[in-house]
């Protein structure tokens, strides 16, 4: 097998990880990131409030630092995100007039996409627009400030602006909970497909769907449904990528060995489904080492032990599932 080391870089489907400026002073981490990742994904640095904190005042310094790092290391990069329910600056959410809000959205996309042009292989144009639980919800789309003020047309407006501003980056609809078994997840997959068809019917470019891939160690993946989803997208000429893979482990009892074994099973199933329908464009984990992870803050373990969501542990040692992931990406 191919060892989980720098030698895996550049083989097969690109592997990437999300990174933040905050981690940068950690030299061991930086070396690991440089050795292992084909692709860099700024975790927060291209989100709306960070890039345009005040109307008309753009700050690209934090994003540029990461993109320059990627460039210096021969890594590609991708961006997130223009439309999201979170991380919007107060000035934006204060705009009441729909026409003015649409103008603000289009101007933001034009400025940011133009600034990054040629440096990003893809953009999450919209993030998390599908209703969390479509059965419980009035409509297929998530109830966000964008939906309330602009209606569903904020989605085509954003894709159209992105296509105009960057003709080469792949334009992605990104969402979570698209891999599990059950009616709620079937509905969420169906809604994504219907959004894709509507954009295509309106002749608006959408190139790929991003599956975030925040897995839960004890939540069953519907391998067949995920593969069918990928095949359905392929039939529409739309690609697939995993954008935020990690494994949330608060349900697993036991120590590191039990947690990592459960993670390996669920990541294996995820890859079976993801690769079963079409060849994914890239697989990206939401961080690289357990040393820095978002799960600890949001869904900590009840036994107080550290979470282990990422491919490398807090001592920068690879988990078994990282070796498996790299092998499968190399061979695809
Ligand atoms: O950097 C500041 C720090 O200076 C300040 O002292 C501190 C106080 O709150 O905040 C720090 O910024 C935080 C930032 O993460 C950096 O760690 C923000 O408050 C916090 O809101 C931000 O959270 C991010 C979150 O998205 C919201 O943008 C997480 O890092 C990031 O992992 C998370 O990512 C999301 C994806 O975009 C979408 N899918 C789910 C995923 C996990 O929630």
Rounded distance from Cα 54 to ligand 1 centre (Å): 19
**Nearest atom within ligand 1 for CA of residue 81:** 37
pLDDT for res 41: 98
Pocket around ligand 1 at a 6 A CB cut-off: 20, 22, 43-44, 47, 86-87, 212, 244, 294
ipTM summary value: 0.94
pLDDT for residue 179: 98
Q: Return phi, psi of residue 173, to 5°.
A: -95, 120
Give the DSSP per-residue string, 101-126.
Answer: HHHHHHHHHHHHHHHHTTT-SEEEEE
pLDDT tens figures, 235-248: 999 999 999 999 99
User: What stretches in the chain show pLDDT beneath 50?
Assistant: 1-3, 6
Give the fold, CATH level 3, of 8-331.
TIM Barrel (3.20.20)
pLDDT of residue 11: 82
Q: How far is the CA of 44 from the centre of ligand 1 (A)?
A: 7
Query: Which residues are within 8 A (CB) of 282 and not within 5 positions of it... i.e. 6 or more apart?
Result: 13, 14, 15, 16, 38, 39, 78, 121, 241, 242
Q: Which protein residue's CA is at the shortest distance from atom 1 of ligand 1?
A: 22
| pLDDT value of residue 102 | 98
Q: Kindly give the distance from the C-alpha atom of residue 228 to the centroid of ligand 1, in angstroms, as a whole number.
A: 33
Ligand 1 centroid to residue 90 C-alpha, Å: 16
Single pTM value for the model: 0.96
User: What are the residue ranges spanned by the domains of the chain?
Assistant: 8-331
The residue contributing the CA closest to ligand 1 atom 14 is 44
Residue nearest to atom 27 of ligand 1 (CA): 87
Strand partners, 79: 123
Rounded to the nearest angstrom, the distance between the alpha carbon of 298 and the centre of ligand 1 is 11
Nearest residue CA, atom 23 of ligand 1? 44
């Amino acid at each position: 097998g191919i060892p989980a080391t720098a030698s895996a870089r550049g083989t097969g489907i690109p592997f990437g990880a999300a990174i933040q400026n905050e981690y940068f002073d950690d030299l061991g981490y930086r070396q690991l990131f440089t050795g292992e990742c084909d692709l860099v994904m700024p975790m927060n640095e291209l989100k709306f409030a960070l890039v345009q904190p005040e109307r008309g005042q753009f700050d690209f310094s934090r994003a540029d630092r990461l993109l320059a790092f990627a460039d210096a290391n021969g890594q590609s990069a991708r961006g997130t995100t223009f439309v999201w329910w979170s991380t919007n600056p107060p000035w934006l959410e204060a705009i009441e007039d729909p026409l003015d809000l649409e103008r603000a959205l289009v101007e933001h996309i034009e400025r940011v996409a133009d600034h990054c042009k040629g440096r990003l292989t893809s953009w999450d144009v919209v993030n998390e627009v599908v209703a969390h639980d479509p059965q419980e919800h009035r409509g297929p789309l998530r109830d966000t400030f964008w939906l309330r003020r602009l209606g569903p047309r904020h989605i085509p407006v954003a894709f159209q602006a992105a296509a105009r501003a960057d003709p080469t980056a792949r334009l992605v609809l990104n969402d979570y909970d698209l891999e599990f078994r059950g009616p709620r997840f079937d509905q969420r997959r169906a809604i994504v497909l219907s959004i894709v068809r509507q954009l295509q019917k309106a002749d608006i470019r959408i190139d790929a769907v991003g599956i975030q891939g925040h897995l839960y160690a004890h939540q069953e993946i519907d391998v067949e449904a995920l593969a069918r989803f990928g095949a359905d997208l392929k039939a529409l000429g739309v690609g697939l990528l995993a954008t935020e893979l990690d494994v949330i482990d608060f349900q697993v009892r036991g120590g590191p060995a039990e947690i990592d074994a459960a993670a390996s099973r669920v990541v294996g199933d995820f890859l079976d489904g993801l690769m079963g329908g079409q060849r994914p464009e890239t697989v990206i984990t939401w961080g690289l080492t357990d040393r820095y992870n978002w799960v600890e803050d949001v869904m900590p373990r009840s036994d107080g032990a550290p979470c282990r969501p990422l491919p490398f542990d807090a001592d920068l040692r690879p988990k078994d599932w990282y070796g498996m992931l790299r092998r499968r990406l190399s061979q695809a």
